[in-house]
Amino acid sequence: MLQINTGKLFARGVGRTNRLRGVLYSNLYLRDEPIVTAAGTLLGTNSLRENLALIYELDERIEEEPVGPGVLVSHGIEPFLVDFSAVASFGFDAVVSPEAALVDRLLSAKPSLASYAPPRDFLKRTFKDQIWLTPEDSAKFVSLVRDLLALDRRRFLAAMRAIRTYVAGVHRLLDDLGVAYTLMVSAIESLAQDFDGYQSGWDDVDERKRKPVDVALSRASARTGQRVREAILSAEHVLLSRRYRAFVTAHLDKSYFRNFSIEDGTPVAAYELDEALRQAYALRSRYLHNLRVLPDSLTHPFGHWEVTYVDRKAVLTFQGLARLTRTVIKEFIARGQKVEFEEYNYRHEQAGIRLMEMASQYWVGKPLQRADHAKIRLEGLLSQLVGVMSNDKDAQLTDLRPMLSDVERMMAKASARNKPAMFALYVLFNLVVSSDLRMPGFDAFVEKHHTAFDAPSIEGLVALTFLDKVGEWPLEAHRQQIDQYFEVRATPKGLHAPRTVDAAMCLALAERYREAREYDQMRAMVSNAVESLPGNAALLELERAFREDAPITWRTVLFPPPPPSS
């Protein structure tokens, strides 16, 4: 929200301005002058030790709408408080939050859940009771905020993501040291993967995978070997640790080893840095994948040294990792491309905006312009059918006849891949409405294109289940399509039917297994139905009172008739 509020992404200028004010809580203590930044103004309240409150003010800018005043009056101060508190925590190396209770907990000198030591024992400055800001501190922060907001949108979002991740890591010192260390490493890793420009080579592939492949390709032609290696590289996350180390070292200069007072503890030496970074990434991976605890020399701090040693190898402490991470992120911001104006659709990134799928009645009957959209329309029709059959309040079936005229027009030239969905959509609608509401050319269309269902398909499975015609398929083909349906359901080529339809298809197959006296398979499909529609009382009862001699009618189970009115 902070960068959006600058107006640099607005296409039509500022249409409304609101003066907003809120309260942040912090261990920062300001002197007499407020800190005026491009993201708002920070003011102190008083210097009493027990007072943690700061005032944050800004002018909220809302873009002018093309017609009329628009619908947005204000976002309120809350999203700006959250974003600014993260930037201030990072920039000042302090605790800043809209939540007073969180600040109290972080500043406590008592041992935390994560360790016998409080957070202040891991980071020298961050958790002090009081941090009195100097004019130099304020000037550096103003410069940091200016550079941050001046970044192009892609780099700004990446920088904010890294800042939030770092601050979250600092806060996790309160309850989980492994998470804290992992998040600090991940803050830079996210930048490295998006902005390092790293070109992977075959030598970057893990040796344990690379050598067997080399042996297997030793007798292949050079061209074949090259193509196989390129295919592996295209899908391989090669040596992320190497990319992390390379990104860090590329964003450090010699001043990193010079702007340091020996009173601050033992810093990492230049010749130790690569190994220390290697160990940091390894600790992150061990915790992330195996929940391995950190070495004792990290979890039992001694002073505020920046480096310790485990098995003679240099390892960054929390103090060392924090300074390194903050330095790299700041350098990324300083070097990043700055723009005064950028064409960018920020609407979906505003606070309080949620993207949600529109209900099917708003789109299912729209003109069909592409054959491959028929599958989505079929999903919309299925959702409406389930609503109507369940007697849901306000449920209704959209009149699809205008859109089905497009299906009639496009069917002959559609690809074999799209024809089953188009045919299922057309037939299913026409057979669930009364005969007087059917398409005039329904019978002729079915006669001409019925071969779309000759081969078993997922779309055919769904439609024929609804029409109680799936029994015409061989039992094995029926089972294969059920398995295929669930396997690809969540993929782009799958059909995403309502859960009730999933259960109906399982019950239809269960009944066929009953008729074939394959009772184990019958029971398995009933269980699949229960697990496809969790919590459905009728399915649970069917499973509990399972009887091999009792026919299963999916309509009766899933759509029982309403009780008679009194």
How does pLDDT run across 145-177, given as a tens digit for each residue?
Answer: 999 999 999 999 999 999 999 999 999 999 999
pLDDT of residue 257: 87
Domain ranges of the chain: 1-152, 363-558
Q: Over the stretch 35-48, which tens digit does the pLDDT of each residue have?
A: 999 999 999 887 55
Structure tokens at 443: 């019978």
Q: Is 51 helix (H, G, I), strand (E, B) or coil?
A: coil
pLDDT at 238 over 60: no
Pair 534, 527: CB distance under 8 Å: no
Please report, for residues 38, 85, 91, 319, the alpha-carbon distance to residue 133 in angstroms, rounded to integers and kept in the order given.
19, 16, 12, 20
pLDDT score of 160: 96
pLDDT tens for residues 325-348? 999 999 999 999 999 999 999 888
Structural contact between residues 160 and 83, judged by C-beta atoms closer than 8 angstroms: yes
Q: Please say if the pLDDT value at position 454 is more than 70.
A: yes
Rounded to an integer, the average pLDDT of 303-322 is 90
Biggest distance spanned by C-alpha atoms of the chain: 90
* 408-429: average pLDDT: 94
pLDDT at 465: 93
The two three-digit tokens of residue 97, written as one number:
């939050």
Q: What does the pLDDT read at residue 198?
A: 61
pLDDT(320) > 90: yes
Average pLDDT of 4-15?
90
Whether residue 141 contacts residue 93, with contact meaning beta carbons closer than 8 Å, is answered with no
Cα 517 to chain centroid distance, Å, stands at 46
Q: What is the mean pLDDT of residues 21-42?
A: 92
* Single-letter amino acid, residue 157: L
Please state, in angstroms and rounded to a whole number, the distance separating the CA atoms of residues 509 and 488.
19
Separation in Å, CA 69 to CA 20, 63, 65 = 20, 10, 6
Q: What are phi and psi of 310, to 5 degrees?
A: -125, 120
Q: How many secondary structure helices (H) and strands (E) does the chain include? A: 21, 9
pLDDT higher than 70, residue 371? yes
Task: Give the strand pairing for 28-29 and 131-132.
Answer: parallel
| pLDDT number for residue 235 | 57
Provide the pairing of β-strand 35-37 with 40-44: antiparallel
**Res. 24: pLDDT tops 60:** yes
Amino acid identity of residue 218, one-letter, is S
